[in-house]
Structures are given as structure tokens and as C-alpha cells.
């Protein structure tokens, strides 16, 4: 199903343009099976953002534990997880998010800025968007499995995006006749 190792991640932030306070990621191997998972979160109060974003977070986001003191510590944990994923994969990984603008792209910008000289050449690039694959293949997004719940939990969201990615890759492998805009 997969032709390489894929690192699929998701973030939660204070509104679309506020600071991220949680992330989750999975490493999926060439056989389509999850080979690793990581997540980290800090108290959303410590992340920058507006009141409307905070109200939405309070009503919708379920993060099991706050295991970081600050957003920067949480971003550093992401960086370490990405390096660990590359080590497990034995080299580069393909990087994915699901509808990555603006939340995940802003998160990556901040990860870079935290230690730009160290991270300059090792930042994940390119980062591909699972939603683009959905549009190309015409896939109707499937119902969530138990491991992909609750919604708005970044690790659950990363697992859901990885499964959607796998389904899209299967469709593309089957040929253009089974795809959306490629028909």
C-alpha cells in the first residue's frame, strides 16, 4: 500500500491562527502498519491566541494529558519525535498533514524558529496534504474507527489522516479510472 515510511501529524491550536498547544503523530511503514506514535501537549492557557479560539478549544478539544510546561517544550518534543521517526525508518520519511493550513504550517514555522540554525536543513520538507489526495482520488472520507476518536485529539486525528492517506494511495495504485479529478 505505501511505498515508503510516512510521518503523519496533526496539531491543535488556539483558533486557526493562534499558537499550537498539542500535536500527535504516527509513523506508518511501507506495509501500511503503524510503527510508532508520539504526542505532546501543554496547558492551552500557555499558548497565544484570541478568546474566540480559546472558547472553541474549551468546547471541542480533548487532550488526555498536559505533559509539557510550555508550547516551546511541546515543539521541541515534536522535533525529537520527527528525528526518532527518521531513525526508525532508516532514513527520510514522507511528511503529511490533513488540511495543514493554517494550523500545522504555523506550527512548523515556530518549530523552525525555535532553533533555526540547527533545524534549517532538517525541517520536514516537502509536507504533503492528505486533503489534496482526497480531492485527487474522489475518496469520501470514511467513518472513524475507535483508535481515531475523539475528534480534535491530535493523535486520533493523525491516525485518521494516515488511514485516509492509505486509502488514497490504494486508489491511485489502482489507476486513474478510480480517482476523482484524475478521471
Give the tens place of pLDDT for each residue, 113-129: 999 999 999 999 899 99
Which sign does the torsion angle of CA 129, 135, 136, 141 carry? positive
- Using the predicted structure, report yes or no on whether residue 66 has a pLDDT greater than 80: yes
If pLDDT is split at 50, 70 and 90, which confidence band does 173 have? confident
pLDDT, residue 27, reads: 98
Give yes or no for a contact between 38 and 84, defined as CB atoms under 8 angstroms apart.
Answer: yes
- Using the predicted structure, report yes or no on whether residue 25 has a pLDDT greater than 90: yes
Mean pLDDT of 54-65: 91
Q: Is 56 exposed, middle or buried (0-12, 13-18, 19+ CB in 10 A)?
A: middle
Q: Which of 4-8, 25-29, 137-141 has the lowest mean pLDDT?
A: 137-141
Mean pLDDT of 109-116: 97
- Using the predicted structure, report yes or no on whether residue 97 has a pLDDT greater than 90: yes
- Using the predicted structure, report yes or no on whether residue 64 has a pLDDT greater than 80: no
pLDDT, residue 141, reads: 87
Nearest to 98 by CA among 4, 179, 29, 10: 10
Cβ-based neighbours of 12, under 8 Å, separated by 6 or more: 20, 21, 22, 23, 41, 57, 61, 63, 103, 152, 153, 154
Exposure of 75 in the CB half-sphere (CA atoms within 13 A): 22
Structural domain boundaries of the chain? 6-178
Give yes or no for a contact between 40 and 68, defined as CB atoms under 8 angstroms apart.
Answer: yes
- Using the predicted structure, report yes or no on whether residue 176 has a pLDDT greater than 70: no
Nearest to 61 by CA among 26, 91, 18: 18
pLDDT-above-90 percentage for the chain: 86
pLDDT, residue 156, reads: 97
SS3 state at 96: strand
Please report, to the nearest 10 degrees, the dihedral formed by the alpha carbons of residues 22, 51, 161, 175 taken in order: -140
Mean pLDDT of 8-22: 97
How would CATH label the architecture of 6-178? 2-Layer Sandwich (3.30)
- Using the predicted structure, report yes or no on whether residue 18 has a pLDDT greater than 70: yes
Amino acid at each position: 500500500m505505501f511505498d515508503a515510511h510516512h510521518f503523519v501529524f496533526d496539531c491543535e491550536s488556539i483558533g486557526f491562527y493562534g499558537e499550537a498547544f498539542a500535536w500527535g503523530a504516527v509513523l506508518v511503514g511501507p506495509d501500511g502498519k503503524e510503527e510508532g506514535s508520539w504526542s505532546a501537549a501543554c496547558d492551552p492557557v500557555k499558548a497565544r491566541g484570541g478568546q474566540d479560539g480559546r472558547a472553541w478549544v474549551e468546547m471541542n478539544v480533548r487532550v488526555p494529558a498536559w505533559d509539557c510546561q510550555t508550547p516551546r517544550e511541546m515543539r521541541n518534543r515534536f522535533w525529537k519525535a520527527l528525528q526518532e521517526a527518521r531513525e526508525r525508518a532508516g532514513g527520510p520519511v514522507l511528511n503529511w498533514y490533513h488540511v495543514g493550513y493554517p494550523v500545522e504550517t504555523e506550527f512548523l514555522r515556530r518549530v523552525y524558529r525555535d532553533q533555526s540554525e540547527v533545524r534549517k536543513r532538517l525541517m520536514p520538507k516537502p509536507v504533503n496534504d492528505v486533503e489534496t489526495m482526497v480531492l485527487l482520488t474522489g475518496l469520501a472520507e470514511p467513518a472513524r474507527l475507535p483508535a481515531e476518536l475523539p475528534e480534535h485529539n491530535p493523535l486520533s486525528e493523525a491516525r485518521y489522516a494516515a488511514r485516509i492517506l492509505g486509502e488514497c494511495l490504494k486508489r491511485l495504485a489502482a489507476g486513474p479510472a478510480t480517482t476523482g479529478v484524475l478521471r
